[in-house]
Amino acid sequence: MAYSDKVVDHYNNPRNVGSFGKDTPGVGTGLVGAPECGDVMKLQIKVNLETGVIEDAKFKTFGCGSAIASSSLATEWLKGRTVDEAAVIKNTDIVTELKLPPVKIHCSVLAEDAIKAALADYKTKWGTQAPAEAAASASS
């Protein structure tokens, strides 16, 4: 199977590989997939608690090149969005951007799941507080 140039580019130069400490203020972590299925994605967002904007995002992925590319692309798209704007990213956007073939659509679905899981984790940990309060509680 030939990969699209964009998949190859993300595979060779993955954007935003890495991890944030799970309890760092404003960080939401999504861990989706399963080792026995051959794909696991960890996607993290770091939200500015004052503005609600995703300032940084990181990922680590166990999976094929398309899975790596899907999560790498997701981190690129997440940066600079507000939490609400992030929630509208759809797997079909990823399929289109990376020109994923039908057998690789599950990679994009997993990336969307990872985004949702990271947002949900962020909301659970930090979202109930007003941005300023959260910042205060984090620094205390």
Residues that bind other proteins (CB under 8 A): 3, 8, 11, 14, 17, 19, 31-42, 60-68, 103-104, 106, 109-110, 113
CB of 125 to other proteins, least distance (A): 18
In angstroms, the CA 74 to CA 30 distance is 12
Q: How far is CA 50 from CA 63, 112, 137, in A?
A: 35, 25, 12
The answer to whether 64 is a known catalytic residue is no
Which is nearest to 55 in space by CA: 93, 89, 22, 16?
Answer: 16
Find the shortest distance in angstroms from Cβ 65 to other proteins. 4
Residue tagged active-site, from 69, 107, 110, 119: 107
| H or E stretch at 45 | strand 39-47
At its nearest, how many Å lie between other proteins and the CB of residue 81? 23
Q: Could you count the other beta carbons within 10 Å of the beta carbon of residue 38?
A: 12
37, 87, 103, 130: which one is catalytic? 37
Please, which residue, 36 or 84, has the CB nearer to other proteins? 36
Known catalytic residues are 37, 107
